[in-house]
Amino acid sequence: MTRFPVALSTIGVAYVGSNARFQARSPGPGPLDWDERYNDPNGPVTVPMLSSRGEGWYRVGTDVRVDGSTDLGWECLDCRVQDSAGGYSITERWKVSPRI
């Protein structure tokens, strides 16, 4: 196994659907048509669609690169977001892409 220093180039967030829809038919691994894209992974990441979409499953992914030139593809995580007394919280997580 060889380790390489990697950098995140883009972050994407997409609403996948309600819990019932996700359980019935979750999307395959990899990136989706992102609802929100952030080209500066060091900047703030806000998800305004949470206020309009609310609870459900969201996919969060990042495009991983080595030295800014070699593209290793997207690494993604599905998160179940639920409304709680203090706001929204992530109650389940599901890794959906191969580990680097």
> Which pLDDT tens digit goes with each residue over 49-65?
777 888 999 999 998 88
d(C-alpha 77, C-alpha 60), whole Å? 5
**pLDDT over 70 (residue 98):** no
52 in a structural domain: yes
* Residue range of the domain that includes 35: 6-95
| Domain presence at residue 100 | no
Sheet holding 87-95, edge to edge: 36-38, 6-17, 56-66, 70-84, 87-95
Over residues 24-50, the pLDDT tens digits come to: 888 888 888 999 999 887 888 777 777
- Sign of the Cα pseudo-torsion (66, 72, 73, 76, in order): negative
Fill in the amino acid letter for 80.
R
Q: Could you tell me the sign of the dihedral formed by the alpha carbons of 25, 28, 30, 31, in that order?
A: negative
Q: How many domains does the chain have?
A: 1
Structure-block tokens of residue 100? 């680097």
Tens of pLDDT, residue by residue over 1-27, are: 778 788 888 899 999 999 899 888 888
pLDDT at 70 over 90: no
Rounded to two decimals, what is the model's pTM? Answer: 0.82
- Pull the structure tokens for residue 35: 């609802």
Q: Residue 56: inside a domain, yes or no? A: yes
